[in-house]
Structures are given as C-alpha cells and as structure tokens.
Chain A
Amino acid sequence: MKTLKTLLAAALVSVASFAALPASAQDPSPAMYAEALAGKRVMLVPMAMGFDLAQGWAAILKHEVDAFGGVFETRDPNWSVEAGAQAITEAIASDQKPDVLIVMSPDLNSYSKLMKRAQDAGIYVLLIDNPANFKADAFIGSDWTQLGRLEAEAVVKGCGEGSSKKIGLVQGDQVNATSLYQYAGIMEVLDKTPGFEVVAKPDSNWDATTSRNVTATMLQQNPDICGIIDFWDGDATGAAAAIRDAGKQDQVFLVTTGGGEKAADCDMIENGTYGAVVMTELAQESYNMVTIIKYLLQSGQPAGTSSPFIYTLLKATTKADLKPDSCWDLKALQAMAGE
C-alpha cells in the first residue's frame, strides 16, 4: 500500500510539474485515472460462485469496478475443474477479452498453462486464495502454511496443558494446495510443541457427511482426543455433528478455517460449535484485489512483469475475542453491490 501510494504520488508530482497549470487549478489525475480504467473488463473465475468467499469477493469487486466505469463479470464453474478451464479458455478467445482475469485455482497445476496463455494474450492474471504453480501478476490470498500454524496454535491453546494432547485432523484432500500447505503448517507447530501428537488424519474430500463419519470413527478409536482441526468450515459442520453426537462438546476443541462470514463462522463460534476459526479478512482481501487491479491497469506494464504475493492478515478468533465486527454479513454486502 505504502509503495503504491508513493508511486502514485511520484507520478502525480511529475505530471504536475510538466503540465502547465491552467488559470483555475484543475487536478488532471482523475481524468487520467478515468481514462485508464473506464470500460476495462474484469472477470472473476472462482471454483464456484455458491460459497461465502466467492460471493463476498464478487460483491466488493462489483461495487468497485462499477464505480470506476469498468465491466465486472463472473463465471461459475460450480466446483468443476473442466468448466473452469473452459471459462478461462473462452475468456482468452473471446472478442471482448477481459483486461484482468481473477482466478481461484482448484489445485497447483490444472490451470497453469491456461493462465500463462492468458498472460501471453495480454491479460493480467490475479491468482486468489489457492496457490498454483504459476507466476501470476499477483497472488492475493492466505499464506496457507501460516494458516495451518495458527490453527495448530489455537488447538494447542484450546486443549491446554493438562489435556491428553491428542489431536485429530480432518484434511480436505491430497491434491489441493490449501490442504497440503495447511497440513505442513500444522505439523510444523505440533512437532515443535512437546507432548502433542496427531492420532488420526483422515480426508473429508470437503464433504460434511464424510467429515462426520470419519470424525465419529476417530473419536471412537481415540476417545481422549482433546482437539480436532477440520480444514474447511464448509465441511466442519460434519465434524461438529460427530462431536455433538458423541456428547463431547466440552471435551473436544474444534478448530477450522473459513472466510469469516457471519452465519458460517461467527454464529458457530458464538453457539460453541467451533472453538476457534482462523478467518480471512475478506473485505481487506477484496480491496487488495481492487488496489492491484487499479495499479496494473494504470501501470502500462505488460502482463507477467512481476508477481508479488499479497497475503491477507489471518487471525484465529475464539469466543473470548469475538466482536460484533469479527465477521462480515453476506446479505449486507450483496445489498451494497445492488444484487
């Protein structure tokens, strides 16, 4: 942010010094800003449009892109890797191709070549939330290893000193970078914390029913588990159901991660379903995208020039530090975007 501001300020000063000032002092910058941004097309291709993060991003992006006179579009692959690939391919090939393509990649490699093709076609590619093997014009999202570390720290704290120190993990799958990096971060902390061990680490395949079944089995095999980390709040309702069924709400500290939507996260912390949730600051993350989009469209640099990582601040929230503004409300955001 600071560098950006300095850059913009520098540009402003140089422009101001060259331009002959008219009689009534008029700031030429807004005109330049408008010229660079008006009519520019921004396209968001998340893994699906149906979940809280994507809807939150879309609401804020639409609000901002509309405000600078651009065109904002979304594509909904509905969790299908092929449909997402097709959306990107069509975007590259279309007559009115987007100026900025925002992609949430389903795994490390599937879209790498496609995104390179988009860059070669002069489209700025922003990679969001899920890392991929590709030099995007910016990666905006979470540092998933750090996210795992925070989850592990939360579960260690939730279990406490006198506990069994036995932890269960409900992983997502074995291909998604968010699952793999999260696991690495968790293990890094748990390995360094004496006494703590992971007793089981099944996959949920991001499905709540599977999460419930594996957690039920895990709790039966290890009745003294003190904490469970489920890798996504989208399926952690299943792990929570298994804990509830076993009557172990007071015994097992459930940690998960999510986009910080009120109904999905804060309400669940409030009613004790989740012990802690490592939340993404969605609004901050979306405005980071907006800033980078505005910067890139004015920079004049070719796509693929640089590839910075803009990590969003992460924080483990528990009932103790739950505040009215800890979460964002999807309905309020959608109202703002006029949807």
Chain B
Amino acid sequence: MGGNAWTILRSLNQERIVLVVAVLIFGAAVIALPGFFTSANLISIVRSISVLGILALGMSVVIIGRGIDLSMVAVMAMSIAWYLQLLGDGMTEHSALLLVLGGVLAIGLLNGILVAYAEVPAIFVTLASGSFVFGYVRSQLITSDAVPVPTGHWVELLGGLRLAGIPVEVYLFAVLSGAVFLFLRFTKWGRYVYYAGDNPVAARNIGIPVRPMLVLRYVLSALIAFAAGLLTAASLHSINTRIVNSTLLYDIVLVAVIGGIGLAGGKGGVRNVLVGAALIGIMLNAMTIIDISLLYQNLIKSTILLFAIIIDGLLNPRDEQTAQQGDI
C-alpha cells in the first residue's frame, strides 16, 4: 500500500500537479461562480492568455535550449510601436514592415551571437539588449509612450477578425502551438534543442551545430515577440510601451516554469506551456469575477510561482555534471 502511494506520488511530475490544480480551480469556479462556465467566458479566458501563451512558446524554446530571453517584452512592444510610428509618419506599408522586421531580426541575431559565440550568459545579454531596445526606440524612434494604429489599417482590421465568434489571436496561438510542437517533436533541429539544452558539451561532441542553433532560437523568440506585439496592437488599436515596465515578462516565465519546463534546460514542451497558460488564465479570470484586488492577485500569482520553482528544484535538480557558471 505504502509503496503504491509512493509510486503515484513519484509519477506526479510538475506538469501533472499543475494540471490537477488547474482542473480543481476550474471545477470550483464552475460550481461557485455563476457565469463562469459559459462559452463566451471560456473564449475570453483563452483569448486573455493567447498573447501571453504565444510569448511563452517563444520563451520555452529558448529555455529548453538552456537559455532565457528577457528582451521579449521590449522587442514585442517597441517593434510594433516603431512600426506604427513609421506608418503614422507616412512611410509606405512595405518599407515600414521590412525595416521593422530587419530590426527584430537584428536583435535576435545580436542576442544569439553574444550568447553563442561570445559566451556571455543569456540572462545578462538579453537583459541588456531588452533595455537597449526600449531605450533606443523610445528615445530615438517614437515620440510618445502610446502609439495609435492608423485608422483603417490592416492591423486594426485584424483585431476585429472573428471566425465562428472566436477572436483571431486564439487561432494564432493554436497554430503557433502546433507549429512549435511539430518543430520540437518531429524535426531533427527540434530534437537537437533538447540535446543541446540537456548537455551542450556532449551535443557538440557528437557533431550537433550547437552555436548556430542557439542563434536560431533567439531569432525565433524575437520574431514570435513581434507577432505577439502585432496581436496586442490589433486588439487595442494602439500600443502603449509602458507594458515594458509591467510584470508581463515575469508572467511569461511564470507560464513556462509553472507548466514544468525546467529552467535547467532540456525538459518540457508545448504541452507544458498550454498547462501553465490554462492555470494562469483560469486563475486570473476567476479572481476578476470574484473582484479580488490587484494587490492580492499579484500576491497569489507570485506565491504560486514560488511553489512552482521550489517543486521544479526538487523534481528537476541541477545536473552537476553539465551545470556551469552562468546557467539560470
């Protein structure tokens, strides 16, 4: 009997624990909160975490490869703000988009090259590049915190797009989840991400192009950040760069880590992101319905993150053989 219980307990990895907690909160909310279990509210839950989930997908790919990208929110907000500013100043659609995409690629490359070839710890590189992106764009390229979408522009129309009553960002989240899943699971380069994350030295010894792939991951996360920015602006008809100072970056890490993607790298996948995003979405929605003030919402959220990190530390201990200074 005792042995049986222990087996069950051991089989409870973090992802399953979080899934159980999410289902429990969901069940409680269905029973206790009238108006929670309606199709409209469920859609709004998924929608409210779509952008967060998309960002978490990008972050996960980086984290699985034993890195972290703290510049994502800055890239997301500042790229789209610059894009809208260029359009507002009368630049043509094509050149504005090309210019901004070029900028986004450049930041991704810069992050990747500094981490892969200069071997600077990712946490410092991306922290610095995030600040740089914010500071440069805010001071040199745009004139105020909030930049509106020009009236009638396709970004504005994108925000109003519905298929079967479901907002477009939900579909994009689904499509990107599928794409990242296929990439990580079934492509050679996707599998390499795990090998490189689990043991970079061994991965390199067996001939995996560890460094170029590292660069690729940071470019990917920058591009995903740009997509998330587009969706945000599409929905709000403007972008406020103040979001860079918000807790969004921590929420992204929260979604990834809480779902069970170990910060030590080499573990987890899209399923973990979905589970993490589900828990956060259900929790925030329920807390808003109950009218819990923001201070307590943040307290509850951070307590859960702390627990997730502790459990993560216990279940996914650092690999002393491959751990090195500068790892997260």
Q: What residues of chain A have their CB less than 8 Å away from a CB belonging to chain B?
A: 48, 50-52, 55, 78-80, 173-174, 200-203, 205-209, 212-214, 216-218, 220-221, 234-235, 237-238, 240-241, 244-245, 263-264, 330
Contacts and interface: CB of A to CB of B under 8 A. Distances in A.
B38 A51 contact: no
Contacts, number: 91
B316 interface: no
Interface of B: 35, 38, 40-41, 44, 47-48, 51, 138, 144-146, 148, 159-160, 167, 232, 235-238, 240-243, 245-246, 284-285, 288-289, 291, 293-295
A303 B289 CA distance: 49
Contact of A217 (B41, B146, B243): B41
Given A78-B245, A234-B146, A213 B288 contact: yes
A15 to B, nearest CB: 45
A237 to B, nearest CB: 5
Given A48-B145, A50-B241, A202 B288 contact: yes
Contacts of A209: 51, 232, 235-236, 243
Chain A at the B interface: mostly helix, strand, loop or mixed? Answer: helix
A202 B41 contact: no
B167 A245 contact: yes
Which 4 pairs across A and B sit closest by C-beta, in order of nearness?
A50-B145, A203-B294, A213-B48, A217-B288
Contacts of A213: 44, 48, 284, 288
Given A207-B246, A220-B35, A214 B236 contact: no
A50 B293 contact: no
A220 B237 CA distance: 22
A78 B77 CA distance: 15
11 contacts: A174-B295, A201-B291, A206-B242, A209-B235, A213-B284, A216-B44, A220-B35, A221-B41, A235-B240, A245-B167, A264-B146
Contacts of B291: 200-202
A173 B138 contact: no
B60 to A, nearest CB: 21
A206 B44 CA distance: 20
A207 B243 contact: yes
A245 B162 CA distance: 9
Query: Of residues A52, A217, A237, A264, which shows the largest number of chain B Cβ atoms within 10 Å of its Cβ?
Result: A217
Query: Of residues A51, A80, A208, which shows the largest number of chain B Cβ atoms within 10 Å of its Cβ?
Result: A208
B238 A237 contact: yes
Contact of B242 (A79, A244, A264): A79
B294 A205 contact: yes
Contact of B144 (A55, A235, A241): A55
A200 B287 CA distance: 12
Contact of B293 (A203, A212, A241, A264): A203
Given A51-B146, A201-B291, A214-B288, A80 B44 contact: no
A80 B258 CA distance: 28
Given A51-B146, A234-B240, A237-B146, 4 more contacts: A213-B284, A214-B288, A234-B145, A245-B167
Contacts of A174: 293-295
A263 B144 CA distance: 12
Contacts of B289: 217, 221
Nearest to B246: A207
Nearest to A211: B236
A153 to B, nearest CB: 24
Nearest to B239: A208
A60 to B, nearest CB: 16
Contacts of B246: 205, 207
Nearest to A267: B148
A238 B48 CA distance: 12
Given A217-B285, A220-B44, A234 B295 contact: no
Contacts of A51: 144-146
A240 B240 CA distance: 15
B137 to A, nearest CB: 11
A244 B160 contact: yes
Nearest to B297: A203
Nearest to B291: A200
Query: Of residues B38, B51, B232, B245, which shows the largest number of chain A Cβ atoms within 10 Å of its Cβ?
Result: B245
Contact of B44 (A50, A217, A244): A217
Contacts of B245: 78-80
A191 B40 CA distance: 32
